[in-house]
Amino acid sequence: MDIVFYLAFMMIVGAAIGGVTNSLAIKMLFRPYHPIYIAGKRLPFTPGLIPKRREELAYQMGRMVVEHLLTPEGIRRKLTEQTFIQGVVKWAQEEGEKWLSSDKTIGELVTLLGVKQPEEMIQRRITSLVETKYEQWMKEIRSKTIHEAFPAELHAKVEATFPALANYIADKAIDYFNSEEGKQRIDRMVGDFLSGRGMLGNMLQMFLGNVSLADKIQPEIIKFLNNEGTKELLANLLAKEWDKLKAYKLADVEAWIGKERAMDFVKNFVVESLDIGELLNKPLSTVIAPYKETMIHHLIPKAVDVLSGLVVEKVDTIIQRLQLEEIVRSQVETFSVERLEEMILSISKREFKMITYLGALLGGIIGIIQGIVGLIIS
């Protein structure tokens, strides 16, 4: 009975020593948080291992994340998975549907992006772009003639308008001379002509008597303008003038018009053609409506595919630029020792307990062995 009690006592003492030793060793990983000095000398094992090695721990965690967790190969593999791509496409389509169905105007949406007075801003950008392009374009072609500067297709289009333009001029002239104002103009012109001919004019007026010469001339003028030959003559005159104009250098045309006037004309034409104010006041859903299905079902999947391919191609550069290792290191360095202890214990608390129990078990076994050895020796 004494032997059993002796062995049990040795086992209990050994288990207590083993358990307490392992528990103390685990505590010394974290405690104390700061070095302890006695008589100006630092006690060994202070501070604890993790407080002492916090910077190295942060560095190693950063390396572990970059080299073993968020590796370029792992990210590439994830980005090329069909399930991942399909998920991104689905999410992008859902978000696109929300945006493209929005009742907000384009101006309101642009304002949400932080752009104040979008109409004025867009007009400034457009006019600035037009000025730049105008200068670049004129620098290239200023020394050329109109014939050299513009393509043959444009010349052909201009020349094709001459018959219609001749008809338009003739029709407008007919409308004018058919009007009362036109008739009065003919009458004045005839009167001026006769008065300038002296006696011959007076004799002609006496010969006509009360008959108005304007009434005689007006139908003939209209008949002349209605004649196809007249319209052909007008078209030929326009063609001849166009041939003369084509020989002018653009520098001469610009100087004649005035550079500022020419540039202002182009800027105003572009701004008025775009009608930015009306566009910004339209709901996005109205503007996009004709293209909505194409954008959602074709453009978005294509954009996701292109972007994912670009990211896969540049993933090494992206990770390098992000400096993930530095981010993790600096973040861990900001953690207090208490938080590090809490993080590690939350992950490994069960394992630390098992280590403590294992120490107690081994200590108990060693205690029994020591007791048996002691009995044998005695």
Per the domain annotation, does 310 fall within a domain? no
**Average pLDDT estimate for 3-23:** 86
Q: Is the pLDDT reported for residue 367 higher than 60? A: yes
**How far is the C-alpha of 117 from the C-alpha of 10, rounded, in Å?**
87
The three-state secondary structure class of 82 is: helix
User: How confident is the model at residue 87, as a pLDDT?
Assistant: 92
pTM of the model: 0.50
In contact, 51 and 30? CB cutoff 8 Å: yes
Higher pLDDT, 80 or 206: 80
pLDDT for position 32: 77
Is residue 373 in some structural domain?
A: yes
Instruction: Give how far the C-alpha of residue 304 lies from the chain's centroid of Cα atoms, to the nearest Å.
Output: 14
Domain count for the chain, please give it.
1
pLDDT tens, residue by residue, 231-272: 899 999 999 999 888 888 888 888 888 888 888 888 888 888
- DSSP state letter for 283: B
Say whether pLDDT at 52 is over 80.
no
Domain that holds residue 29: 1-78+328-377
- Predicted confidence (pLDDT) at residue 210 exceeds the cutoff of 50: no
Q: Is the pLDDT of residue 149 over 80?
A: yes
Residue 18 lies in a domain: yes
Angle (CA) 240 243 247, round 5°: 145
Q: Is residue 372 part of a domain?
A: yes
Q: Which residue type occupies 370? A: Q
Residue 296 lies in a domain: no
| Most confident segment among 71-75, 170-174, 190-194, 329-333 | 170-174
* 193 within a domain of the structure (yes/no): no
Task: Round to whole Å and give the CA distance between 127 and 269.
Answer: 10
Answer yes or no: is 36 within a domain.
yes
Once rounded to an integer, what is the mean pLDDT over residues 349-374?
86
Is pLDDT at 203 greater than 90 in this prediction? no
Domain assignment present for 70: yes
Residue 237: per-residue pLDDT: 92
